[in-house]
Amino acid sequence: MSGDLYEVISAVGETIIANRQMLTDLDAAIGDGDHGINMARGFEAVKAKLQTLETESDIGKVLKTVGMTLISSVGGAAGPLYGTAFLRAAASSQGKTELDVETIGSMLEAAIAGIKERGKATTGEKTMLDALVPAYEAFQDGAKTGKSVIECLKLACEAAKQGVEFTKTIIATKGRASYLGERSRGHQDPGATSSYIMLKALLEHLRR
Amino acid sequence: MVGVVIVSHSQKVAEGIREMALQMSAPEQKIIAAGGMADGGIGTDAFQVSEAIISANTGDGVAVMVDLGSAVLSTETAFEFLDEDLRAKVQIADAPILEGAISAVVEASLGSALAAVIATAEGARTLNKM
């Protein structure tokens, strides 16, 4: 499991890095055009830090390092937002070594609470929450009916994808995109997109 | 004396505002710039901000001046890294960063308490230039 955890985070990071341009293009349309660059910079720093944690099996410890590294290296609003999300997920998974349904469920719940608190945000404001909250709800629905981690994550990814689509239909009221008001409609939110991409990378890695 | 921290996406902006504010300050006034990323890039870094707050505090608390967007988020994240005592004595001023910083420094250098420093900084929002 220990090597696996390292590989999970690496896979998520590589996916963000690979989508740098797409995320930046989405952000250029309605924001300051740095989301992809910032997130890639953050996960490049995570990649370097992870070398020291290759044998760490405590999920909480690994996620804490990811959170701290994102906070100090992303630079844009995504730094404190995702950083806080990872730190809260770390606190909820301290001492855990298995990415089981219960652990992932509580990690998502804690991460979402952290983003809501840090961003003073909720769903329907064209943010990462519009992907993450439905994803969490779908994940928990799966968990309640006894589905496997993979099946629950699949449901979560489908819900997150729909959440990203939903962000095209609403206007932004948080962050730089809120300056655009009505003109932000029709564009998908870069933060919701990066959240979806990370969940999908997690699913694809675990499914292998 | 209340310390003042300047949080900007740009290291040059934060340093420049500090330089201007120093002209108006008492010699023992702490003004700490926390601008940009460690690699010199544009952005804000919550760890740099929390260290700046710690250096700016001489016991009377710290007023934090911020520029846009993530400067607020990073500063609020930085608060989480402070011990409880200091966290209770640090506040973000909802003010334009340059005018606010200079107003804050003038007030702080008079020996005013944190609430007064923040109020004066926020008063800079309505300063007319013409």
Mutation target to probe the A interface, by most A beta carbons within 10 A, among B73, B79, B80 is B73
pLDDT at A43: 97
Q: What residue ranges of chain B have pLDDT lower than 50? A: none
Distance CA A172, CA A106 (A): 28
**Most distant CA atoms of chain A, gap in Å:** 49
How many CB atoms are located within 10 Å of the residue B91 CB?
A: 18
pLDDT at A2: 41
DSSP structure class, residue B34:
E
pLDDT at A55: 87
Strand partners, B92: B64
pLDDT at B69: 82
Dig out the tokens for A137 from the structure.
């709800």
pLDDT at A208: 86
Compute the mean pLDDT over every residue in chain A, rounded to the nearest whole number.
95
Contact call for residues A50 and A5 (beta carbons, < 8 A):
no
Interface of A with B (CB under 8 A): 34, 38, 41, 68, 71-81, 83-84, 118-119, 175-176
Burial (Cβ within 10 Å: 0-12, 13-18, ≥19) of residue A70: buried
pLDDT at A1: 40
Distance CA B60, CA A25 (A): 45
pLDDT at A20: 97
Q: What residue ranges of chain A have pLDDT lower than 50? A: 1-2
| A28: Cβ contacts below 8 Å, ≥ 6 apart | none
The predicted model scores a pTM of 0.91
Interface of B with A (CB under 8 A): 9, 37-38, 41-48, 68-70, 73-74, 76-77, 80
DSSP line for A121-138: --TTSSSTHHHHHHHHHH
pLDDT at A126: 97
Distance CA B3, CA A180 (A): 36
Of B97, B123, B125, B117, the closest CA to residue B26 belongs to B117
